[in-house]
Amino acid sequence: MAVALAFGSTQGAAAQAAKTATAAGPEVSEVVVTGSYIAGTSTTAALPVNVIGAADLQKQGSPTTVNLVKTITAAQGSIGESNRFLGTAAGAATVNLRGFGSARTLVLFNGQRMATSPAAVALESVDINFIPNAAIGRIEILRDGAAATYGSDAVGGVVNFITRRDLDGWEFTADYSQIRKSAGDYDVSIARGWRFDRGDALLTASYRRRSELRTTDRAWALQPFANNNFGGWSTASNPGVFTTGTAAQVAAGTFSQSFVDNGCAQLGGVLVSAASPASGCRFQFTQFDNLVNDEFHYSVYGQLNFRVTDDIDFHGEMLWARHDVPNERVSPAQSTTQFPTPIVASGGSPGGGTSPYPAVGLNQQSRFYIPNTNPGLIAFLANPVNCPALGTICTNAAANGVIASQTLWRPEGFGGNPLFSDGADHQARRATAFRIGGSLTGHMWDDIGWRASATYQVNHGEAGAGPDISVTRLELALRGLGGPGCNPVSGAPGVGGCQYFNPFANAYSGSKGVGGANPFFAPGATNNKPDLLNWLHIQLSGDTYTELAVGETVFNGALPITLGGGKIGWALGAQVRYDRTQISVPDFYDINATPCVDSIPYGDGLPGCGVSGTGAYTFYSAVQEVDVDRTVSSVFGEVRLPITDSLEVTAAARYEYYGGNFGSTTNPKVSVRWQALDWLAFRGSAGSTFRAPQQTSLTPGNVRGLAQFNLPGVGSLYRPVDTANNPHLRPETADTYNVGVIVSTRNFRATLDYYKFKFKDELTNETAAALVSTMFPSATPSTWQCGVAAFRSRFTFADDGNPATNDCSPANLLGVKANLINGPSVDTSGLDFQGSYFWPDALFGGDLTLSGDATYTIEYKRGALVTLDGFTIAPALDRAGKTELLSAFYSYPKLRANAYLEWTSGLHNLRWTTHFKQGTDNLVGASILKTDDEITHDLVYTGQLPWDTTVTAGIINILDSDPPFTRSQYNYDYTNAFFLGRVIQLGVRKKF
């Protein structure tokens, strides 16, 4: 089989490609290329399929799957770094062809589907970190819609990882990457291959480690507020804002004496307003994050290919893979969005239940109350800097206590979480995959081929929302009734096992991030109480299982009808696939068992609240357990018509039956290839695609995430977003088109393709930032939509329901409610270019290859976004050349390109590669910031030593370029840019 020019600085000239293909494995009688079920289809046929071999990966310096995906010019916005804002768990990675979202790129392993990952985006994507790299012989990429061949999800294209069959003996591989201020990344693998008369076998095992790289290890990752007010800054801070009042105000519930805690500037914060200190302190919580977490990846893979009879071949495979992230660093504490049960006239809590621990003090509804006996408040009032400067505030606080602001305080901030020496909170994530599959391939009547296969995969994710704080436990601890050894009914505050939690910054000697010492530190009021802190902080973790079983039968052959170019080829097949998703959590994280802050959690013995809610924690919502499955059956067919020696037409169609509300779908596709001249060919295709919503999206319930909002008159705030599932979702569809030209001479090869996709009923969500900007289009109250009841119900504000407060305002925003929806139409088009020229004996007796590829996005027009209840919350927009990473999470550089110059002489290979990504217009509301182009250079040497040993040495990002500044939480484009700095690589491969 001839191998085509591969993507992004991968494949050499056509001659080199042929060598790679020859070395890829033993001769086989039939080859099926990604995108077709007809045996013998060439990668130079009508569909734009590119191939990269294992040998060429080595010439690039053996990049990780994550870094490899980022060099594919046809991919936009692929996720694989430690970014907790994108919904992808650390350790997972995805591929995203055309920027449609990773759920719209179908990932195959040896031509068969993989189960979606419990660690990937919204349970809809495949985690490519489960792929056993040591076993891969080549990767095939189809840059075109393929629903007619593979069914749902193959919208933007297909990536097919195909295992090797060439090894006979042992092979040991080790690679190390030196990264500044990191322990480095390294991987080790061992493979054993057997080749015998009737087949071959392969067994591989690998271990890969990514080492921690903190945001504090890169100066560009943490920008001052003045440089980027969106760079992880939040006004929910510690030091925070507190409120008290006079006796009369307490009685009336109308107190308004607010003050800001000490230490904002000294700990690294920025006052919201120097003229009005009670407006709050800005906290940069990303200083506690990692750019890369410690990741541990393991895999074991085995396969057997065996000729059972002269007409039947067997293939069997088994895969076990795991990635483990034991210490993902996150903010010490999240902002508070849920609060103690307020006191009501009946003495009970709302809904008919009773709570022995309601919100108390100052007659205030739903506030965290700090009594005058709390050591932190005592230390604050005793500091001469505060009193008598605060005047009556100190007097009233000493008499009546204080309450914490609902929006301008969090339990832990700059001082960090004392449970960990680095001040961050930590969470653990683990994902495991087990896969087994097999197939029988044979012939009937000498001219009809058949293949019957079955695959089963189950993935298990062990993770959750992360650490959070119990509302009730925090309220008790603020009153001195906290800790596992305290009985809050009979215990006395601060006595015996009953302990206080200090909500003031004077609990900390200094900042655990980038700030300095705290001159207001009160040694007698610290929070260094591990038993209390472990009691407050709850790890909200659970188990997620995704399961996939596929059975498929395919027949192919040639009809006894001969056209001008030969016999008509055909393929017919049927498939049944079953998928299942299970989410199970402990009772204290189950929305049905623990719906409210006063629900019975984890042994406290508190009664249920009797009303619906979002759980018992300050920030994250409890989870709706699910166990959903479905069976999809399909039949498909394909016919190839060699009209003449130079003209070939292929038609394919697939019928899939889903049942239920979806019913069925039929997706056709037609493609044409015309060899106009010996050196010139044209190709084109047109088809339709279909993607059904996930079963979890149709199940009642919601998922809580985090979004950043630019609020007029307030600035940047992070608030939770509860996105509700939608049982009425419809499938999304798209029409796809591709037209291309192929030029191929003895030493030169190039392709140029124009693609176009037209989406309808895009499966998406109501963007929270768009909801907020529609509610508050300006700082002028008359423009706010508070009076529109249906729209107002989407938002939660501080003191909601209290007529004495003006609750509907940007400063009081606590949370946003959104829905999964069928969204607008999307029209996108662009150009793909790939070219290569080969000079034999060009320099010092060696061959030269000059190669390059590029993708230019002409347009990415997305229609207006309209909510379920008919509100237009975002206008139509052409996203080409634009980036929005704060809440919508997209980035579409117009031009992405790679070029390399390679010198090969005997046992030596030297390659220089340049990567280019065009800058974008960085969007934040009406504000536009132009980001710079990104240009990086790599140099990799590969040499063949004696004793069947290959050595690789490389410098990635030779000039040590920083990623261009982009307005995001980490100040760079984490979906596209290379951020590690200069990387020194060394690798060795030994066969024996």
- pLDDT tens, residue by residue, 203-215: 999 999 999 999 9
Name the residue with higher pLDDT: 46 or 982. Answer: 982
Task: Give yes or no for a cis peptide into 467 (omega within 30° of 0).
Answer: no
Non-local (6+) Cβ contacts of 865 within 8 A are 764, 766, 767, 770, 823, 824, 872, 873, 874
Task: Provide mean pLDDT across the span 415-423.
Answer: 95
Cα distance between residue 157 and residue 326, in whole Å: 34
pLDDT at residue 383 is higher than 70: yes
Placement of tokens 């040993």 in the chain? 949
Closest C-alpha to 786, from 772, 766, 770, 767: 772
Cα distance between residue 579 and residue 873, in whole Å: 35
Q: What is the pLDDT of residue 735?
A: 94
Task: Provide mean pLDDT across the span 819-827.
Answer: 94
pTM: 0.91
**What length is written for the chain?**
992
Name the residue with higher pLDDT: 227 or 69. Answer: 227
pLDDT in tens, 243-264: 998 878 776 666 778 999 999 9
- Taking CA atoms, 388 is separated from 382, 383, 393, 395, 531, in Å, by 10, 9, 9, 9, 36
Residue 984 sits at the vertex; the CA angle it makes with 978 and 986, to the nearest 5 degrees, is 125
Placement of tokens 């509301």 in the chain? 925
Name the residue with higher pLDDT: 557 or 89. Answer: 557
Cα distance between residue 186 and residue 165, in whole Å: 25
Q: What is the pLDDT of residue 611?
A: 53
Task: Provide mean pLDDT across the span 822-832.
Answer: 94
Cα distance between residue 92 and residue 98, in whole Å: 20
Cα distance between residue 642 and residue 248, in whole Å: 92
- Taking CA atoms, 643 is separated from 562, 671, 672, in Å, by 9, 13, 10
- Would you place residue 125 in the very low, low, confident or very high pLDDT band (cuts 50, 70, 90)? confident
Name the residue with higher pLDDT: 194 or 17. Answer: 194
- Would you place residue 60 in the very low, low, confident or very high pLDDT band (cuts 50, 70, 90)? confident
Indicate the residue type of 983. V
Number of CB atoms found within 10 A of residue 102's CB? 31
Task: Provide mean pLDDT across the span 374-385.
Answer: 94
Most confident residue range from 119-133, 158-172, 783-797, 924-938: 158-172
Q: What is the pLDDT of residue 466?
A: 78
Around 6, how many Cα atoms within 13 Å sit in the side-chain half-sphere? 28
Placement of tokens 């042992």 in the chain? 170
User: Of 28-42, 649-663, 857-871, where does mean pLDDT reach its minimum?
Assistant: 28-42
Beta bridge partners, 614, equal: none
Residue 526 is given by DSSP the state: -
Non-local (6+) Cβ contacts of 691 within 8 A are 103, 104, 147, 152, 153, 155, 731, 732, 733, 763
State residue 122 phi and psi, 5-degree precision. 50, 30
Tokens of 806: 């003006």
Average pLDDT, the chain: 87
Cα distance between residue 681 and residue 338, in whole Å: 64
Residues 854-874: b if buried by 16+ CB within 10 A, e if exposed: bbbbebbbbbebbbeeebebb
Asked if residues 12 and 838 have their Cβ atoms less than 8 Å apart, the reply is: yes
- Taking CA atoms, 30 is separated from 41, 112, 148, in Å, by 9, 17, 22
Most confident residue range from 625-629, 664-668, 870-874, 958-962: 958-962
Percent of the chain with pLDDT over 90: 58
Q: What is the pLDDT of residue 634?
A: 96
The helix-helix angle for 375-382 and 392-400 (nearest 10°) equals 160
Residue 373 sits at the vertex; the CA angle it makes with 370 and 374, to the nearest 5 degrees, is 50
Indicate the residue type of 211. S
Indicate the residue type of 562. T
Placement of tokens 């070219």 in the chain? 835
pLDDT at residue 11 is higher than 80: no
Task: Tell me, rounded to whole angstroms, the distance of Cα 754 from its chain centroid.
Answer: 29
Closest C-alpha to 634, from 152, 153, 158, 156: 152
Tokens of 988: 């060795």
Most confident residue range from 138-147, 461-470, 816-825: 816-825
Tokens of 642: 């060699």
Indicate the residue type of 790. A
State residue 714 phi and psi, 5-degree precision. -120, -45
pLDDT at residue 464 is higher than 80: no
Tokens of 772: 């907020």
Placement of tokens 């759980």 in the chain? 615
Task: Provide mean pLDDT across the span 812-822.
Answer: 91
Beta bridge partners, 877, equal: 862
Q: What is the pLDDT of residue 15?
A: 34
Exposed/middle/buried for residue 371 (C-beta within 10 Å: 0-12, 13-18, 19+): middle
Q: What is the pLDDT of residue 316?
A: 97
Closest C-alpha to 365, from 930, 7, 804: 804
pLDDT at residue 612 is higher than 80: no
pLDDT in tens, 555-602: 999 999 999 999 999 999 999 999 999 999 998 888 888 888 877 655
Tokens of 759: 């989406």
Range list of H helices, 12-117: 14-22, 54-59, 65-70
pLDDT at residue 741 is higher than 50: yes
Percent of the chain with pLDDT over 70: 89
Q: What is the pLDDT of residue 530?
A: 95
Helix (H, G, I), strand (E, B) or coil at 10: coil
Indicate the residue type of 95. V
Q: What is the pLDDT of residue 153?
A: 85
Name the residue with higher pLDDT: 542 or 439. Answer: 439
Residue 365 is given by DSSP the state: T
- Would you place residue 31 in the very low, low, confident or very high pLDDT band (cuts 50, 70, 90)? low
pLDDT at residue 13 is higher than 80: no
Non-local (6+) Cβ contacts of 325 within 8 A are 89, 90, 91, 293, 294, 295, 296, 428, 429, 430
Non-local (6+) Cβ contacts of 241 within 8 A are 258, 259, 260, 261, 278, 279, 280, 281, 404, 405, 408, 409
Q: What is the pLDDT of residue 155?
A: 87
Beta bridge partners, 432, equal: 322, 460
Q: What is the pLDDT of residue 343?
A: 53
Cα distance between residue 105 and residue 21, in whole Å: 25
Q: What is the pLDDT of residue 347?
A: 37
The sign of the CA dihedral 288, 123, 107, 734 is negative
pLDDT in tens, 330-345: 999 998 988 887 654 3
CA dihedral 912, 914, 915, 917 (to 10 degrees): 180
pLDDT at residue 964 is higher than 90: yes
Name the residue with higher pLDDT: 956 or 801. Answer: 956
**Strand order, beta sheet including 270-271:** 233-234, 281-284, 270-271
User: Of 110-119, 191-200, 503-512, where does mean pLDDT reach its minimum?
Assistant: 110-119
Residues 634-671: b if buried by 16+ CB within 10 A, e if exposed: bebbbbbbbeeeebbbbbbbbbbebeeebeebebebeb
Asked if residues 588 and 608 have their Cβ atoms less than 8 Å apart, the reply is: no
Placement of tokens 């009032």 in the chain? 381
- Would you place residue 604 in the very low, low, confident or very high pLDDT band (cuts 50, 70, 90)? low
pLDDT in tens, 348-370: 333 333 455 556 655 555 689 99
Closest C-alpha to 512, from 816, 754, 283: 283
Placement of tokens 């419990």 in the chain? 118
pLDDT in tens, 763-772: 999 998 899 9
Name the residue with higher pLDDT: 561 or 80. Answer: 561
pLDDT in tens, 867-908: 998 999 999 999 999 998 887 778 999 999 999 999 999 999
Cα distance between residue 226 and residue 917, in whole Å: 27
